[in-house]
Amino acid sequence: MNGRESIDQQIQIDEYKLNLSDSGKKIENTISLYTSKSDYQAIKATTGKKIYNIEAVSLVINKDTLYPEEINTRGQTTLYYRRKSFSFNLKSKAELRHGDKTESLKKFFALSLSMDRSYCNNRLAFEMMENTGLFSLFYTFCELRINGQSEGIYLVIERPDEWAMKKKDSPLMIRRGYNHALDKIVTDNSVKKSDIKRYCEYYNLIYKCLDKYEGEELYKTISSWLDINSYMKWLAFNFLVRNGDYTDEVYFFFDPRINKFNIIPWDYDDLFLTVPHEGNIKNKELLAEKLIFSAEDQLDRKIAADPYLYRIYLIQFWEILDKLSPDVLRKVFENTYAELYPYYSNNEIINMSGYDAYKNADLAKLQSDMLTMYEQLRISREYYLDKVKSK
Q: What is the mean pLDDT of each run of 10 residues along the chain (391 residues)?
A: 44 70 95 97 96 97 98 96 98 98 98 97 98 98 98 98 97 96 94 97 97 97 98 98 94 97 96 84 80 95 97 98 97 98 98 96 97 97 92 70
Cα distance between residue 280 and residue 286, in whole Å: 10
Q: Is the dihedral of CA 141, 142, 143, 146 positive or negative?
A: negative
* 296, 278 contact by CB (below 8 A): yes
In what helix (H) or strand (E) does residue 173 lie, and over which residues does it extend? strand 172-176
Q: Which of 262, 268, 278, 277 is nearest to 238 (CA)?
A: 268
How many angstroms separate the CA atoms of 231 and 317, rounded? 11
CA 167 – CA 164 distance, rounded (Å)? 6
| Residues 282 and 265: beta-carbon distance below 8 Å | no
Task: Give the separation between CA 360 and CA 352, rounded to whole angstroms.
Answer: 8
Q: Is the dihedral of CA 304, 305, 311, 312 positive or negative?
A: negative
Predicted pLDDT of residue 11: 39
Query: What pLDDT score was predicted for residue 132?
Result: 98
Give the separation between CA 78 and CA 270, rounded to whole angstroms.
13
Pairwise CA distance, residues 103 & 93, whole Å: 9
Q: What's the pLDDT score for residue 188?
A: 87
Q: Where do the H-state alpha helices sit in the chain?
A: 3-16, 37-45, 121-132, 160-162, 193-208, 215-225, 228-240, 280-287, 298-305, 307-323, 326-344, 347-350, 363-389
pLDDT for the residue 9: 42
How many degrees, rounded to 5, is the angle at CA 10 between CA 8 and CA 13? 110
Radius of gyration for the alpha carbons in the chain, expressed in angstroms and rounded: 22
Give the strand pairing for 85-98 and 58-61.
Answer: unpaired
Q: Which residues are 145's β-sheet partners? A: 32, 150
Using alpha carbons, list the distances in angstroms from residue 90 to 72, 108, 135, 141, 153. 12, 9, 24, 19, 21
